[in-house]
Amino acid sequence: MKRVAWLIALAALLVGFPLASGEYYVNLTSQILIFAIFAASVNLLLGYGGLPTLGHAAYLGVAAYLSALLYLKLGFGSWIAAPVALLGTTLMACAFGLIALRAAGLGFLMLTLALSQVLWGTAYRWVSMTDGDNGLRGLVRPAPFGINLDDATAFYYFALAVAVFSIWMMARFVSSPFGAALKGTRDQPRRMSALGHDVWMIRWVTFVYAGFWGAVSGLLFVYYHKYIHPISLSLTNSAEGLLAVVAGGSGTLAGPIVGAAIVMLLKNWVSAYIERWNMLLGFVFVVIVIFMPDGVVPGVRRLIERVKAARGKAQ
């Protein structure tokens, strides 16, 4: 009951927020929502599958580039460009999964990094297609059912709807029987295969699913910025996703959302006041890891329980 009340309060806050706030904060929150989808998809691999990826920016970036190129080079509207970009990126995830999942642990990390670096390098060097370091400009936001998303508030609601749907879909995935098996492969892969679970296939399916939701965040990303630059495919972007998951709490549903908010607030809001925001991000991360080694969400949950227990004793 209490949980439902909290959820209703949160929903009211998210829906009502643009009415009470300026455009700057509405835009900032849109970016947090987009990044939360990205971080949640990283969390599928890292938190639930125990597969540390340093190449997840590949899916965000490729979906964004595909959608941009389909519009710029072929003149496709988003009704065609979006599904084609999602499909293309997902197929890429199918292929990348075959390569990256030849290893687990550090080997997996290095393979995902290598694959995404190839794409990053390509985006930089294939100037005739991507315009290299200049990035692709002249993009437009879609206008679903005639709703103009150029308005900050309209885009916010669009991003909110997509984020809620995406995260709900990922939450269902991890709480399904398949999700239980996925967590099993994270904790005891050998035991799982002895029990009849196809560990490789479980990981591959998760890899592809995570790639798909990474692509969804990429579409929102390119719609929001109306611009795409190779930096979206970079190691930095992948690492920020990983950082958000670890800081927020990997293997929890709320963790990546909280982590995404932390990273985005530091990156966009604090950076307006402090030039070396990267240093601050590093500092905040170190503090989180020292005091809440499994992330903010599990850390705060424990803190609340401790306060409750102390209060119970006092009475």
**Minimum CB distance to another protein smaller for 122 or for 193:** 193
Report, in Å, the least distance between residue 54 CB and another protein.
Answer: 25
Nearest approach in angstroms of CB 190 to another protein is 6
Cβ 309 to another protein shortest distance, Å: 18
CB-based burial of residue 241 (10 Å sphere; 0-12 exposed, 13-18 middle, 19+ buried)?
buried
Q: Between residues 135 and 184, which has the closer beta carbon with respect to another protein?
A: 184
- List residues binding another protein (CB under 8 A): 172-173, 175-181, 184, 187-188, 190-199, 205, 209
In the complex with another protein, the residue whose CB is nearer, 87 or 205, is 205
Closest approach, Cβ 116 to another protein, in A, equals: 25
Compare residues 48 and 223 and give the one whose CB is closer to another protein: 48
Q: How far is the CB of 295 from another protein (least distance, A)?
A: 16
CB of 172 or CB of 276, closer to another protein: 172
SS (H, E, C) the chain: CHHHHHHHHHHHHHHHHHHHCCHHHHHHHHHHHHHHHHHHHHHHHHHHCCCCCCCCHHHHHHHHHHHHHHHHHHCCCHHHHHHHHHHHHHHHHHHHHHHHCCCCHHHHHHHHHHHHHHHHHHHHHCHHHHCHHHCECCCCCCCHHHCCCCCHHHHHHHHHHHHHHHHHHHHHHHHCHHHHHHHHHHHCHHHHHHCCCCHHHHHHHHHHHHHHHHHHHHHHHHHHHCCECHHHHCHHHHHHHHHHHHHHCCCCCCHHHHHHHHHHHHHHHHHHCCCCHHHHHHHHHHHHHHHCCCCHHHHHHHHHHHHHHHHHHHC
CB of 204 to another protein, least distance (A): 12
Tell the smallest beta-carbon distance from residue 87 to another protein (Å).
Answer: 19
17 vs 178 by CB, closer to another protein: 178
Return the number of the residue (146 or 177) whose C-beta is nearest another protein.
177
